[in-house]
Structures are given as structure tokens and as C-alpha cells.
Amino acid sequence: MISACKKPAQPLEENGYKYFGEKIDKVEAISFNDLMSKIETQDSVYTQVEAQVEAVCQTKGCWMNLVDANNVEGASIFVKFKDYGFFMPKDIAGQKVIVEGVAYKEITTVDELKHYAEDEGLSQEEIDAITEPEEELKFMANGVILL
């Protein structure tokens, strides 16, 4: 219980990049499309992936959606941060990141989807339109580089 109340660590700035969570020392990021191919044949994948931030939780910065920078209308990855140990700035939509951690598929309930829609600042009409659970690609990040 006490650990849930701790203040998230401040980002490290080095060589023009901001590091959140565990510092990623060796960058070996795969493309968004490569991750999509890998997750089709595996339950989970520990990896690094480079992608574009589509949205960030506007309440605390405790999650973000990532998309392929070249295909914004395609698939997305819902990212949370390990042990709530760090949060992301709320104003980074459109910027590129490298995330390191575990990618996996999971069914997201209607209640969770509505909660995230509220966090994102969607209208009540948009929130009320959420009526079905969704299988989503999720990512538990232990580190993020803001490029």
C-alpha cells in the first residue's frame, strides 16, 4: 500500500532525450509493424518498440496509446507503466518514443474502456457509445525514451 503512494521518479535528461522509468542503455527497438507480426504468433513479447504517441492520460499521464508513425489510422498499443513507477508528460501526443517492456493481448472490459475514455477527455456521448469489450494489444513498459 505504501509504495502506491510514492511520487513517480523524475525523468533523466541525457543527450537531448528524456528517459522515464528504468533507463534504456542499449537501444534495439523494432518497428511497430514488426511487433504486430511477432505478437500474432506469441502470447507475449519482451521487446523495445519505436512508435508515435497518439494520446496520453490527461489526469496523471499514467497511460498512453501508441501508433505506427506511418499509419496513424491503424492498430494501436495501450501502454501502462510498471508499478506506476513513472508517468509521462500529458502534452506529448504526436511525439515519438521508444518503450521497453512486455507486449501482450488482453480483453479490456467496458468499464475500463469508459474509464480510459474519461481520462482522455472524450465527450459523454463518445463514452456512452462504448458498449462492447475489446481485445487490445497492451504493453507494460519498464522504461521509455522520449525522442
| pLDDT tens readout for residues 80-114 | 999 989 999 999 999 999 999 999 999 989 999 89
Residue 41 lies in a domain: yes
pLDDT tens per residue across span 25-77: 899 999 988 998 899 889 899 999 999 999 999 989 999 999 997 765 578 89
- 78 belongs to a structural domain: yes
- Using H for helix, E for strand and C for coil, what is the string for 51-96? EEEEEECCCCCCEEEEEECCEEEEEEEEEEEHHHCCCCCCCCCCCE
Flag whether 2 is in a domain.
no
| 5: in domain | no
Residue 103 lies in a domain: yes
Say which CATH number the domain at 112 has: 2.40.50
User: Is 6 domain-assigned?
Assistant: no
Q: Give pTM, 2 decimals.
A: 0.82
Examine residue 9 and state whether it is found in any structural domain, yes or no: no
Determine, yes or no, domain membership for 77: yes
Q: How many domains would you assign to the chain?
A: 1
Q: Which domain holds residue 100?
A: 16-146
